[in-house]
Structure 1
Amino acid sequence: MSNQSPVSWLLQQFQLQPGKPAITNGLRSLLILGVPIGVGIFTGHGAESAIATMAAWFVGMVNVDGVYRQKLIALISATISVTLVFAIANLVSTNLWLAIPTTFLVIFIVGLAGVFGSVAASVSLITGIMFVVSLARFSAPGNLSTLLLHSLLCLAGGTWTTLLSLGLWVVHPDKPATAAVAKCYNSLSKFVEVAGERVVHPQDIEDWEQQFVQAQDTVTQDLTVARSTWASVWTTQRGASLRGNQLLVLIEDANQIITSVVAQVELLAIASDHPLCSRLQREISQVMTQLAIAMQMLATAIAKGRSSVHLGDLDRSVEALEYEWQILRNQIVSKNNNLPRDEYWDLVNLRKLTTSFSQLAEQIHTDAEIVTDLQQGKRRNPINQDITLPKQPTTAEMMETLRCNLTFDSVMFRHALRLAVVVTLAELIAALLHIPRGYWITLTALVALKPNFGGTTQTTVQRALSTIIGSIIGITAILLIHNQWAIAFSLLLLVFTAMSVRSLSYTLFITLLTPAIILLLNMINAGGWQVGLLRIADSCVGGGLALIGSYLLFPSWERQQLPTQLAKTIRTNLAYFQQVIANYLNSQNTSVAALNSLRHQAALENANANAAAQRLFSEPRHVQGEIEPVMTLMIYIRNFYSSVTTLAEHQREFSGQYRFAALQELTDSMIQILENLADALQYRQTPQPLPILNNHLETIHEQTEQLYKARIAEIPQDPQTVTSTLQAVREQTPVFAELERIVNQIKIIHCAIALLQPSSR
């Protein structure tokens, strides 16, 4: 941010994420709020209807992905929770010294609920917001009949949202799974598009690597969601239908496509260091462009029910690449005995790359056929794939999770305690100083405070900026609009737009939501334009409390947590590497599902480690320590994963007839080093000295040289025949190239961890 102008930084905060506005969510929000508001205006009970409106709105804010059954559980839980805390807030609101400990207890539970996952965290957050608002705005002291009526209105509002949100459950029971698969292929398209930038702009490697990592993490997470959603849908329906099986194949094919793209990028990295690659740069770029377009067409066809995907442009680009490679090959091999070894090495690598593109194009053709069958309800070929269904946690397991987190060693326990202290303090300050609408201080502190300092800082800045701009909009609306119907229309328009862009920009979402809240509160109890100014001041105070609390109260600095995450990441990648190497050494036929599972787990842990590193970089500089070793470690763990994935992908062409004699010794040494590095991170120890790996690698290099000499010698006799020597060259060239890269990666990982440890103690 220091290199940006203020205007550039401000515009960046409102930049929309890739994607389209969720118009359906906006329309749903219009109905959620429009009905209770309309009923209140028609009946002349606007203040009472605001309770139902608020409950309906809050329940509608619960962020739940997945199948309808999961959404139903979440929405019912939210409805019951907001009704319960509404009643509790009303009962304790008359006594400050009863309200304060109640606030502490409720908010502590709200913070701790995050141990049960994102859905529980979302439900608990809106529950906490409802408690704070109810404590300040909807109290009915001493009147049990009014309290009962208001609680029923609250329950009705949440029930209305639940019924409206799940109205199409019976009509489209598999829609969530279809949408999840379509989103996965949409992410795949963006992933391939970013991968193609490696060819177009090879000089901007650092910027490209960041974009590639982000795109890879996104598609990995979307694949995880698609698998989980699929399993939930067809677990509920007790067995997958034909459509379910077809969606499952598309999910597993997406996993294979990710693998192929990672391998292609790795092969491009190897080939781009040599001049021959530039001869095919235009054709390679065109193929990757068409691959991205093809996957975008698949995503659209899955989402919108189209039955035809036209792949003619993709086929022509692949044919053009193969044709140009063949011309290049003929030019090279025509040199016969004068053929330089390095040029032939480059030629073999480029052949591997073109073959990979051809195989991926065939895969996409297969997926296009499945999409056609999916829309037409046909079965073209037998479908027989399995997927590991996620286990639903038992009550005993949930209680054990809770018990394990009731300790200061738990990040979530410390966050819950910190949240309770800060929110209770904000509530106490607002009450003792008699601050008008002081509950906005409490609300801002509740929403802004995150388990980590970086997240708190980002949310606080975004909310402060959004609140200032949104309050100006709200003040203007109050000054200019005096008709109740016009105010209601403006409120609904703001809510519709806010909910539509919620997934695209948090800052814009809050900016539009702020004037909507101001207008809603003005309908309940007219407060004039001063409401907007109070909101700005209170939000700044609440954000300040959140920042101070995050920094001073039981901080969970990422520097303390990161080594454990990195150790787990290395071990997961090591398990993947061990299985791949075992297949090379023993010609094992490991099931595709087992290898895919190991690869996917490694990719997930890489994403987790990257997220942890980003949290570290957002913390105060004096608590970060040395970040250069962390950055180096993140890069080379990713590179290690890419090399292993390339080896795994290459196994489809590996016959096992020719093997490197020193492969066993080399890989055993690699495994021992990586195990020690993981232990060094976990136990905060200095890693053991690095053993000599170059001797084994040199032995393999000599064998590779012998293969190349033998192949170059036989080319003049018959350059077109695929001899056993040529087959060995094709099989072993990628293996040696990746082993050489892995040795270098391990050396750099070892060095980074050695530098990291002193600053961790």
Structure 2
Amino acid sequence: MAGTWTIVLCLGIWPLNPYISLKKSISECYQALVKYINQAKNISESEELKQVSQLRETLENARRAWTLDRKLILGNTSLGESAIILIQDADNLITSIVTLTELVQLHQHDPQFFTVRILVDNALEEIALFCKNLVKLLWNKSVSVDTDHLKRIVTAIAQQKQLQQQTIADHAEDYPALVVIERIVSTLESIIIQLDCTTLTGNQIRNNQSINHLQKNRILSPESEILSAVKITSWFDTLRDNFTFDSSFFRHGLRLSIMTTIGVAIYSIAELPQGNWLTLTILVVLQPSFGNTFQRFFHRMLGTILGAIITPIFWILIPSQLILEIINLSSIVIGFALIPFHYGLAVFFISIFAIGAEMSRQGGNWQVAMIRFLWTCVGAALAFVGAFLLFRPNEKEQLSVKLARAIAASLDYFNAVISVYLGIVPYDLNLLIKQRQKTRLAYFNAQAALQQLSSDPNTSAADIEPRMALLIYLHRFSRSVSVLLAQLEHFSGTEPHPELATFVEQVNQFFLPLISAILTGTLPPTLPTFEPSIQAIQTHLQALQVTRVQEFATDQDYTPTRQILKDYTILGIELNQMLNSLNSIDSTVVRLIPLGLTQKPGF
């Protein structure tokens, strides 16, 4: 009967607002982007990594919502097509904004860069305002969404670039800032093109129009190509792969079955009423990780105790049966609404409903509250014991594997981008974006594993700090690589300095043993000496900058020197950023290994 009533509610309510969940998930993407922009000025590196992870998580939630929407609706719909475009636009916008903030940070303390920094901050505020208005547009509110003011800001930044060219004179040291300003302008121009297309899509959603052929081509993004390239396995293959002790799903399912069987045996022998409360408690408290089970244990206990105390008091103080039923109904609604936000409060309100409903059936028997409390205590205790004793995963070991994979993905990403600068492979944007996505996924998995470790009550703060620091510096290293990836759009393929290949070889010599060190719990080899190769590249670029300044008097347009500087000035700046990240990673790992990182898990 309950299932039938649920179906009736869905069939009666869902058709009235079929796209609410999808619109909400898309709105959350752009709202998260607004939050990131507003906090980007005064944010620590650890908080920045957390914010970027949250941005990526909202994107994945939106993609899952879109997939669910497509499963529930047959055929194409105007919103379905437009929604995936808006999700992809949000992904592209995140990448562009992260690149833009990284470019600004390169010269944020340079006096020549002061006005540009103010203008870029204004541009970011305009982008945030655009995202806010786009969300309003999605919900059919009357609002103007355009990029006119942003275009004027970009024009002002371009004028600053011209002023820099006129005043550079003999100051060769100011030339890198000039190149950075040029890249900022090109990045903002790309963002404007992106936002104009997004505006068109948003208006089409509001007007319930189908997207045109040009926009449909944007759906075939590199991320979609990744999904299409994945081999689709049958249900039997998935079942077979998860029917081993290596599968966390299998271990958790076995834990649940064992503990619920024990629970059924206990309430069958005790012959007490409402024994299903015991098994239900086991099912909701016992989680795949011990840390989450530990949290659920206390939330369930606290919520049930308070509910068992408050409900009989209601029955004593309130004589009206109608008011009590209203309280019961309100409690279950509030309880389920609070589940995603605070499980303990949700249990409190659900307990009021469960105890109140049973007391109504038994004519106000307050002993129901005691039975609820008893079964909750027994069920929570069984869940806690099961999580602690049965097939408990080694969170540190799992995190070690995820960290090693994140390092390997960062190295692959670095090699893929730098190989284009070295002329080893041709520029293939789709291939590079796929590698960037793999790196992001590896970071996300490592972040999730770190969260699991931090929720384990046996984990100390000393265990968390170096692992978090390692992820932060890996993130900084890959951000530098992403800036170089954005630079490849303007790369002409000029000959690199020979020391660049030396630097790449040293980076590989550093990261490959580092992966092995994390997996085996041994100290890595001594950090390679990066400074000579980087210094040689910097000296070469500085000499070219002096030459270019001398050329300004006769030729401010194309020269071979200008082209080399356009190709490699940003790279030279990012090499210093990478060096700082590599040194920090090395010092972090040295602190991490003595903590007993792992016991040789399989990679």
1:330 alignment partner in structure 2: 163
Residue 214 of structure 2 corresponds to which residue in structure 1?
Answer: 382
CA distance in 1, matches of 2:185, 2:38: 14
Q: Match for 1:256: what amino acid?
A: N
Q: Contact 1:190 / 1:292 at 8 angstroms: preserved in 2?
A: no
2: CA distance between counterparts of 1:563 and 1:362? 42
**Match for residue 577 of structure 2?**
741
Name the counterpart of 1:98.
Answer: none
Q: 1:520 to 1:236 in 2, by over 3 A?
A: closer
Aligned residue runs from structure 1 range 412-431, under 5 A:
412-429=249-266
Tell me, in whole angstroms, the C-alpha distance in 2 between the residues paired with 1:511 and 1:318. Answer: 53
Pick the aligned partner of 1:366 from 190, 197, 212: 197
Distance 1:250 1:514, change over 3 A: same
Question: Which of 292, 301, 315 matches 2:128?
Answer: 292
Q: Write the letter of the residue equivalent to 2:39.
A: E
- Please tell me the residue identity of whatever aligns with 1:319: R
The Cα of 1:368 is off from its aligned counterpart by: 0.4
Counterpart in the other structure of 1:162 = 7
1:396 aligns to 2:241 (yes or no): no
Preserved CA contact (<8 Å) 1:329 1:347 = no
Report the Cα offset of residue 521 of structure 1. Answer: 2.0
How far apart, CA to CA, are the structure 2 residues paired with 1:685 and 1:610?
A: 22
Where does 1:82-101 land on structure 2 (aligned, <5 Å)? none
Do the aligned partners of residues 757 and 580 (structure 1) sit closer, same or farther apart at CA in structure 2, a change above 3 Å counting?
same
Q: What are structure 2's unaligned runs of at least 5 residues?
A: none
Instruction: Rate the CA distance shift 1:170–1:628 in 2: closer, same or farther, 3 A.
Output: closer
Q: Does 1:222 align with 2:54?
A: no
Contact 1:426–1:441, Cα closer than 8 Å, also in 2:
yes
Aligned-pair distance for 1:683? 4.6
TM-score by length of 1: 0.68
Matches within 5 A, 1:232-631: 240=76, 244-302=80-138, 304-305=139-140, 309-311=144-146, 315-316=148-149, 319-320=152-153, 322-323=155-156, 326-327=159-160, 330=163, 333-334=166-167, 336-337=169-170, 339=171, 341=173, 343-376=174-207, 377=209, 379=211, 382-383=214-215, 384-385=217-218, 386=220, 387=224, 388-389=227-228, 393-403=233-243, 405=244, 407=245, 409-429=246-266, 437=274, 440-532=277-369, 534-536=371-373, 538-586=375-423, 592-621=429-458, 626-631=463-468
Question: Conserved in 2, the CA contact under 8 Å of 1:307 and 1:373?
Answer: no
User: 1:656 maps to what in 2?
Assistant: 493
CA distance in 1, matches of 2:204, 2:459: 58
Corresponding residue SS for 2:422: helix
Residues of 2 paired with 1:322 and 1:534: CA distance? 72
Q: Distance in 2 between matches of 1:477 and 1:657?
A: 80
How far 1:347 moved relative to its partner?
Answer: 4.3
1:330: how far off? 2.4
Distance 1:268 1:510 in 2: 48
Question: Letter of the aligned partner of 1:712 in structure 2?
Answer: V
Q: Does 1:680 align with 2:550?
A: no
User: What's the TM-score, normalizing by structure 2?
Assistant: 0.85
Tell me by how many angstroms 1:455 deviates. Answer: 0.9
1:712 paired residue among 545, 549, 567: 549
- Cα distance in structure 2, aligned partners of 1:560 and 1:656: 43
Contact in 2 for aligned 1:348/1:730 (Cα 8 Å): yes
Q: Does 1:732 align with 2:568?
A: yes
- Mapped to 2, the partners of 1:210 and 1:468 lie a distance apart of 38
Post-superposition Cα deviations, 1:438-491, rounded to whole Å, max 9, x if no partner, equal 654543333222222211122223333333444444334333444444333322
- Do the aligned partners of 2:99 and 2:482 also contact (CA within 8 Å) in 1? yes
**1:558, CA displacement in angstroms?**
0.7
After the TM superposition, which of the residue ranges 589-598 and 263-272 deviates more from structure 2? 589-598
- 5 Å-filtered alignment, 1:46-85, equals none
What do the CA deviations read for 1:625-654 (whole angstroms, capped 9, x no partner)? Answer: 743431221111211221222222222222
Does residue 1:186 correspond to 2:25, yes or no?
Answer: no
1:392–1:168 distance in 2 versus 1, CA, 3 Å: farther
Q: Which amino acid aligns with 1:289?
A: E
Structure 1, unpaired ranges of 5+? 1-155
Instruction: Quote how far apart the aligned CAs of 1:511 are.
Output: 3.0
Count of matched residue positions in the alignment of Structure 1 and Structure 2? 588
CA 364–481 in structure 1, closer or farther in 2 if over 3 Å, else same: same
Q: Is the 8 A contact 2:28 2:58 kept in 1?
A: no
Query: Is contact 1:569-1:605 (8 Å) kept?
Result: yes
Give runs of aligned pairs for residues 637-652 of structure 1, distance below 5 A. Answer: 637-652=474-489
1:37-86 per-residue CA deviation (whole Å, 9 max, x = no partner) reads xxxxxxxxxxxxxxxxxxxxxxxxxxxxxxxxxxxxxxxxxxxxxxxxxx
Distance 1:574 1:538, change over 3 A: same
Closer, same or farther in 2 for the Cα pair 1:275/1:297, shift >3 Å? same
Give RMSD over aligned pairs: 3.5
1:86-165 matched pairs, under 5 angstroms? 156-165=1-10
Cα 1:577/1:489, change in 2 over 3 Å: same
Deviation at 1:571, TM superposition (A): 2.3
Per the TM alignment, residue 292 of structure 1 is displaced from its structure 2 partner at its CA by: 1.9
- Letter aligned with residue 236 of structure 2: A
One-letter code aligned to 1:190: A
Change in Cα spacing, 1:506 to 1:709, as seen in structure 2 (3 Å) is farther
CA drift of 1:212 comes to 2.9
Give the structure 2 partner of residue 213 of structure 1. Answer: 49
Equivalent position to 1:635, from 452, 465, 472 = 472
Which amino acid in the other structure matches residue 146 of structure 2?
A: L
The separation in 1 between residues aligned to 2:102 and 2:175, in whole angstroms, is 19
Of all paired residues, the percent bearing the same amino acid is 26
Report the CA distance between 1:168 and its aligned residue: 6.6
State whether residues 307 and 352 of structure 2, in contact with CA within 8 Å, keep that contact through their aligned partners in structure 1.
yes
Paired position in structure 2 for 1:3: none
* Conserved? CA contact 2:81–2:211, under 8 Å: no
SS across alignment from 1:310: coil
